């Protein structure tokens, strides 16, 4: 497996990946998907972490940022970084 240089946000309690994010005024409208293939892929760890922290703070639940690794037949999540609400 080799790293893709992409990062995804995972919600462990629901076993889902962030698939859509839209900010309307001060609200975050979120869509979730069961597989990383449909997930929003961030180019930088810092961007994924900032997004996850903002969502965790507003929604009140923890998230995990993971780096995607892929082979010809498999996808894996590596180097998990847990993000908890600041409250």
Q: What is the full DSSP assignment across the chain?
A: -EEEEEEEEEETTTTEEEEEEEEETTEEEEEEESSGGGS--BS-HHHHHHHHHHHHHHH---EEEEEEEE-SS-EEEEEEEEE----
Number of domains in the chain: 1
Task: Give the angle subtended at the CA of 18 by the CAs of 12 and 21, to the nearest 5°.
Answer: 145
CB-CB neighbours of 52 under 10 Å: 25
| pLDDT one-digit tens code per residue, 30-85 | 999 999 999 999 999 999 999 999 999 999 999 999 999 998 888 889 999 999 99
- The model carries a pTM of 0.89
| pLDDT one-digit tens code per residue, 9-40 | 999 899 999 999 888 887 778 999 999 999 99
| Residue-number span of the structural domain to which 39 is assigned | 2-83
How far apart are the two ends of the chain, measured CA to CA in Å?
Answer: 37
């Amino acid at each position: 497996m080799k790293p893709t240089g992409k990062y995804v946000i995972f919600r462990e309690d629901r076993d889902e990946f962030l698939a859509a994010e839209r900010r309307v005024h001060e609200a975050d409208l979120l869509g979730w998907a069961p597989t990383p293939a449909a997930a929003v892929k961030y180019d930088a760890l810092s961007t994924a972490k900032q997004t996850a922290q903002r969502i965790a703070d507003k929604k009140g639940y923890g998230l995990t940022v993971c780096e995607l690794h892929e082979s010809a037949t498999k996808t894996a999540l590596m180097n998990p970084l847990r993000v908890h609400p600041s409250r």
